């Protein structure tokens, strides 16, 4: 082959090679362009969308979790959006834990007790009688007396649900259509109550009733219920129960509601670490809001509410209820070694508070 022929062949091979390279680059570019177009098409749609339901009705829910989740959605910057639903809106309250396990909902805010958690420690959620005097007691018990670790252990044994945090809400007082001035006045009262608190008060003649949250006000108006023992006075005024209940008993059966934030485990594992951290910070912000909102409201509405008359059962009579609570604690301590540990923590904590004196205990 002549030198000229070799050169022509070399040029031909070079041209073909360049064309192949350009075609390959064009192919890659095409894929990149398609991916970019796909991303652009999805722009504005969150990569993760959750459904969260709480135990609270529409009027209360912003204070419970609604406003906090709004802040989370802003902080998540379009990567994740959580839609908030109120009590019984997607599933009945008593079926909420099961719905969370199945993935029907991705998260919930509730006490363990009323959503029928299968954990042995569930009875200590909501209003375990006289476990706390103030809302701050709840936060201290979980964060400083080992209950966080116990809850992690308990829920670690239950498939499909991850417990994230426990916080405090309001105290538990009677709001009724008739005045309560003596222990005997409790007999026969049909009250909307949390399960464990209701069981405890049955020994004093109270008839606990369970029904959908949004049906309670109408049930009081029609005489189906004599009132609620579900909250403090802040909630009574916020949700409208102060319109149908004329009296508020100042003797509490618990000083603070214990409620938790729970997530479906598989859904939680799909959330990237930075969004998990934002969600945890959102929970802490929510805990703090309720702590000072309820502390403000419980005093404010007693003094300035104007719709409910305050009544009090004499301390000498109410002492019988407080004494009965300790026996109630001992009954639940026998349910499991873990429950016995919780009860001992409650006893040790309250003993320390009384020894500390005012302002911890008076």
Segment 301-324, tens digit of pLDDT = 999 999 999 999 999 999 999 999
Q: Is residue 42 pLDDT above 60, yes or no?
A: no
231: preceding bond cis by omega (within 30 degrees): no
Q: Is residue 240 pLDDT above 70, yes or no?
A: yes
Dihedral (CA of 194, 199, 205, 209) sign: positive
Q: Among 25-29, 282-286, 326-330, which is the least confidently predicted range?
A: 25-29
Q: Which residue has the tokens 């959605």?
A: 73
Q: What mean pLDDT is predicted for residues 332-336?
A: 97
32 pLDDT tier (thresholds 50, 70, 90): very low
Neighbours of 191 (CB within 10 A): 21
- pLDDT at position 43, please? 61
Q: Is residue 294 pLDDT above 90, yes or no?
A: yes
Alpha-carbon gap, residue 80 to 74, rounded angstroms? 9
pLDDT in tens, 255-264: 999 999 999 9
Q: Which fold has domain 48-168+257-305?
A: D-Maltodextrin-Binding Protein; domain 2 (3.40.190)
Alpha-carbon gap, residue 111 to 264, rounded angstroms? 16
Closest to 230 in 3D by CA, of 262, 203, 201: 201
- pLDDT at position 23, please? 36
Going from N- to C-terminal start, the domains of the chain cover 48-168+257-305
Sheet with 80-85, strands from edge to edge, namely: 80-85, 48-54, 107-110, 258-264, 161-168
- pLDDT at position 10, please? 40
- pLDDT at position 228, please? 98
pLDDT in tens, 167-209: 999 999 999 999 999 999 999 999 999 999 999 999 999 999 9
- pLDDT at position 46, please? 87
Cβ neighbours for 256, distance < 8 A, ≥ 6 positions apart: 132, 133, 134, 135, 136, 137, 138, 168, 169, 170, 171
Q: Is residue 16 pLDDT above 70, yes or no?
A: no
- pLDDT at position 45, please? 82
Q: Among 25-34, 300-309, 335-344, which is the least confidently predicted range?
A: 25-34
88 dihedral zone (left: phi>0; alpha: psi -120 to 50; beta): left
Q: Is residue 39 pLDDT above 70, yes or no?
A: no
Mean pLDDT of the chain: 90
pTM assigned to the model: 0.86
């Amino acid at each position: 082959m002549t030198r000229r022929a070799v050169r022509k062949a070399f040029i031909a091979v070079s041209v073909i090679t360049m064309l192949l390279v350009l075609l390959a680059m064009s192919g890659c570019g095409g894929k990149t362009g398609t991916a970019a177009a796909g991303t652009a098409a999805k722009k504005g749609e969150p990569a993760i969308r959750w459904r969260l339901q709480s135990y609270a009705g529409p009027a209360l829910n912003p204070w419970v979790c609604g406003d906090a989740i709004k802040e989370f959605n802003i902080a998540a910057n379009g990567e994740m959006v959580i839609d908030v639903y109120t009590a019984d809106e997607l599933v009945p309250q008593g079926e909420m834990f099961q719905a969370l396990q199945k993935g029907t909902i991705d998260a919930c805010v509730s006490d363990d007790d009323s959503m029928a958690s299968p954990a042995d420690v569930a009875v200590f959620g909501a209003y375990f009688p006289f476990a706390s005097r103030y809302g701050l007691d709840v936060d201290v018990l979980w964060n400083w007396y080992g209950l966080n670790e116990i809850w992690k252990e308990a829920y670690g044994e239950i498939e499909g649900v991850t417990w994230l945090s426990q916080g405090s809400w309001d105290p538990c007082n009677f709001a009724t259509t008739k005045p309560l001035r003596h222990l005997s006045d409790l007999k026969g009262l049909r009250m909307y109550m949390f399960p464990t608190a209701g069981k405890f008060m049955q020994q004093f003649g109270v008839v606990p009733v369970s029904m959908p949250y949004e049906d309670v006000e109408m049930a009081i108006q029609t005489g189906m219920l004599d009132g609620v023992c579900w909250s403090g006075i802040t909630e009574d005024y916020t949700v409208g129960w102060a319109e149908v209940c004329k009296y508020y008993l100042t003797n509490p059966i618990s000083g603070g509601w214990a409620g938790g934030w729970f997530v479906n485990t598989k859904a939680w594992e799909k959330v990237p670490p930075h969004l998990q951290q934002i969600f945890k910070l959102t929970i802490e912000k929510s805990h703090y809001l309720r702590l000072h909102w309820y502390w403000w409201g419980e005093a404010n509405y007693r003094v300035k509410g104007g719709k409910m008359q305050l009544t009090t059962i004499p301390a000498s009579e109410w002492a019988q209820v407080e004494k009965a609570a300790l026996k109630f604690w001992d009954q639940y301590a026998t349910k499991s070694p873990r429950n016995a540990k919780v009860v001992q923590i409650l006893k040790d904590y309250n003993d320390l508070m009384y020894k500390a004196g005012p302002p911890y205990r008076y």
